[in-house]
């Protein structure tokens, strides 16, 4: 119990000092942005619930399981009071390609989880006691984007991504929730998108249905990663040459055009050997021909394993159906690969290979 004004000042100073140290640790560990927010009711929970009710999450039923806990950031780990919210830049200056930039290297869940656990250890040491806490990196019933805005890390762009005024949006978000009093940062209240609608206009499948409203069922990232079934025929052309994920709405954002950065040389998000230097057609052909053993070796520790081999082969077939080539030799090679895929054990792959052959107007033989 606090009995005097002197005690109030002491508590405030402790919380401020602990926050200062926590931020210093976060930057030292390697995070690019850090802010602190008090836990409580999530401001965007009603919108999230409406989004689920409207079916815009598509087949991602797992999002519904934790819907109640997402209403209040204190609920995922009862007893916690504050969150250290971090961002880790994965590089937005690298050339666009068939794989979204975030997925070209190691799985960010593993990378950030380890970093946040180290942050937890250091914060507990500074507090002089065991501190209840848990890291969240897009894996639990926590609206990290909501917390990030509350912690002052940016605003919600019209493409629904969190945008920082000096970093753009090519970064991952994570949160370490703690049972520890920490001085908090001011929330980011401004909307700096202005009248710009470039992200909405550039989306190949019109997935951004209105400013800050995304229909996942039309989003290329959902179609090529989360969807386990056939990609709707009417959306396949819009997938274009993208095998895993999509960066278009970020690429065209003026804040990224100006402030996006290259990934550090030693970054775990540098492209791995199975992806580096591949254009869409080359990677698609390699994926179609890849055995399960080859796939497991090439993508061990990669976020691309989420789509599984059957999903990536499905995506590869769509890409070969979309990508045009003037070379007769290349066309024959595509036909041969797609024709062999017609005998794939997976019906999903067979159907998309058949579509690709029809889509490209290719003959059903290598002649």
What does 233-294 look like in DSSP terms, one character per residue? Answer: HHHHHHHTT-SB---HHHHT-HHHHHH--PPPTT-TTSPPTTTTT--HHHHHHHHHH--HHH
| C-alpha span between 221 and 214 (Å, rounded) | 12
Output the pLDDT for position 363.
Answer: 52
Asked whether the predicted pLDDT for residue 5 surpasses 60, the reply is no
Backbone phi and psi for residue 287, each to the nearest 5 degrees, phi listed first: -65, -40
**Coil, helix or strand at residue 325:** coil
14, 106, 126, 138: which is the annotated catalytic residue? Answer: 138
Backbone phi and psi for residue 155, each to the nearest 5 degrees, phi listed first: -120, 165
| C-alpha span between 27 and 85 (Å, rounded) | 12
List pLDDT tens digits, range 55-74.
999 999 999 988 899 999 99
List pLDDT tens digits, range 80-131.
999 999 999 999 999 999 999 999 999 999 999 999 999 999 999 999 999 9
Residue 179 is a catalytic residue: no
List pLDDT tens digits, range 192-220.
999 999 999 999 999 999 999 999 999 99
Asked if residue 55 lies in contact with residue 159, where contact means CB atoms within 8 angstroms, the answer is no
Asked if residue 325 lies in contact with residue 331, where contact means CB atoms within 8 angstroms, the answer is yes
Output the pLDDT for position 139.
Answer: 87
Backbone phi and psi for residue 172, each to the nearest 5 degrees, phi listed first: -90, 150
Asked whether the predicted pLDDT for residue 361 surpasses 80, the reply is no
List pLDDT tens digits, range 257-309.
999 999 988 899 999 999 999 999 999 999 999 999 999 999 999 999 999 99
Output the pLDDT for position 6.
Answer: 41
Output the pLDDT for position 132.
Answer: 98
Backbone phi and psi for residue 133, each to the nearest 5 degrees, phi listed first: -170, 165
Asked whether the predicted pLDDT for residue 176 surpasses 90, the reply is yes
């Amino acid at each position: 119990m606090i009995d005097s004004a002197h005690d109030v000042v002491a508590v405030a100073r402790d919380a401020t000092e602990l926050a200062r140290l926590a931020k210093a640790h976060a930057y030292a560990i390697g995070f690019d942005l850090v802010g602190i927010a008090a836990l409580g009711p999530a401001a965007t929970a009603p919108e999230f619930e409406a989004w689920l009710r409207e079916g815009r999450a598509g087949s991602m039923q797992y999002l519904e399981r934790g819907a109640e806990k997402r209403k209040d950031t204190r609920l995922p780990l009862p007893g916690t009071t504050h969150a250290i919210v971090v961002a880790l830049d994965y590089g937005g200056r690298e050339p666009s390609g068939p794989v979204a930039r975030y997925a070209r290297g190691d799985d960010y869940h593993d990378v950030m989880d380890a970093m946040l656990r180290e942050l937890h250890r250091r914060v507990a040491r500074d507090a002089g006691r065991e501190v209840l806490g848990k890291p969240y990196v897009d894996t639990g019933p926590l609206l990290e984007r909501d917390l990030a805005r509350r912690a002052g890390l940016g605003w919600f762009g019209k493409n629904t991504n969190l945008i920082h005024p000096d970093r753009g949006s090519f970064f991952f978000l994570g949160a370490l929730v703690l049972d520890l009093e920490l001085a908090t940062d001011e929330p980011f209240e401004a909307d700096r998108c202005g009248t710009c609608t470039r992200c909405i206009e550039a989306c190949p499948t019109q997935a951004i249905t209105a400013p800050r409203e995304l229909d996942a069922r039309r989003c290329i990232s959902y179609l090529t990663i989360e969807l386990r079934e056939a990609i709707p025929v009417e959306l396949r052309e819009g997938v274009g040459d993208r095998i895993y994920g999509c960066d278009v709405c970020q690429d065209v954002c003026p804040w990224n055009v100006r402030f996006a950065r290259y990934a550090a040389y030693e970054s775990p998000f540098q492209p791995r050997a199975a992806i580096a230097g591949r254009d869409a057609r080359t990677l698609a052909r390699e994926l179609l021909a890849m055995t399960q053993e080859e796939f497991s070796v090439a993508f061990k520790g990669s976020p691309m394993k989420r789509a599984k081999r059957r999903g990536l082969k499905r995506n590869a077939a769509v890409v070969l159906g979309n990508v045009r080539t003037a070379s007769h030799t290349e066309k024959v090679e595509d036909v041969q690969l797609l024709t062999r895929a017609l005998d794939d054990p997976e019906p999903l792959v067979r159907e998309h290979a058949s579509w690709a052959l029809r889509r490209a107007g290719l003959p059903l033989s290598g002649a």
